[in-house]
Homo-oligomer: A and B are copies of this chain.
């Protein structure tokens, strides 16, 4: 190879400190590298000033003015989220989820008419997240004070998710509330031969009566 050719440098020089700051900010977001960040910063420069003004004010107001539902801790604009404020829903069935993304996913199925409880994560000693960092005590309070008949766990099928479910289950066990967990098994549309063996194994162990299957 000709001697003048250098390897591509990772730390590119920017012609402007303002541009470099913007690239640093954008590339601090998860999943956005410095090349993408530069592309996004140059895109903003091509759009009019109003675009960036609207962009930054949307992000700033989210961060500064965001509220959390006092009941389920979902993100909302009022004291109560739309789901908790909806009297037509079944407030005696509470689905426990990690985050707002799971609320949206379950709402999109149209299959659940109960209410939610957003933990804000799962217990993960590796990341320094203990039970006290999550909305677990408030869930126990809710079960104690309200007329709740069933708590459904819909947490990730990971060691952390299972640990969190078990921790909460122990706290709820003396309160006489029914505790269930969403079913795990082969996805609808999946071919059996390609299902991973842990999923397939669990779906055989947890088989249900054919007449009950929907």
Are the C-beta atoms of B14 and A104 separated by less than 8 Å?
A: yes
Indicate how many identical chains form the complex: 2
Look across to chain B and name the residue whose beta carbon is closest to the beta carbon of A75: B16
Task: Known pairs A15-B104, A52-B64, A53-B60; list 18 more (Cβ under 8 Å).
Answer: A5-B111, A5-B188, A6-B108, A15-B103, A16-B76, A18-B65, A18-B77, A22-B58, A24-B58, A25-B54, A25-B59, A28-B55, A39-B101, A45-B75, A49-B64, A52-B59, A56-B57, A56-B59
**Any chain B CB within 8 A of the CB of A194?**
no
A14 to B109, CA, bound (A): 14
Are the C-beta atoms of A41 and B18 separated by less than 8 Å?
A: no
State which of B17, B59, B61 has its C-beta within 8 Å of the C-beta of A55.
B59
Give the residue among A5, A51, A54, A60 with the most B Cβ atoms within 10 A: A60
Look across to chain B and name the residue whose beta carbon is closest to the beta carbon of A104: B12
Q: How many chain A residues touch B (Cβ–Cβ < 8 Å)? A: 71
State which of B12, B19, B57, B99 has its C-beta within 8 Å of the C-beta of A62.
B19
Interface residues of A, Cβ cutoff 8 Å to B: 1-2, 4-6, 8-9, 12-19, 21-22, 24-26, 28-31, 36, 38-45, 49, 51-67, 69, 74-77, 81-83, 99-101, 103-104, 107-111, 188, 214
Are the C-beta atoms of B53 and A15 separated by less than 8 Å?
A: no
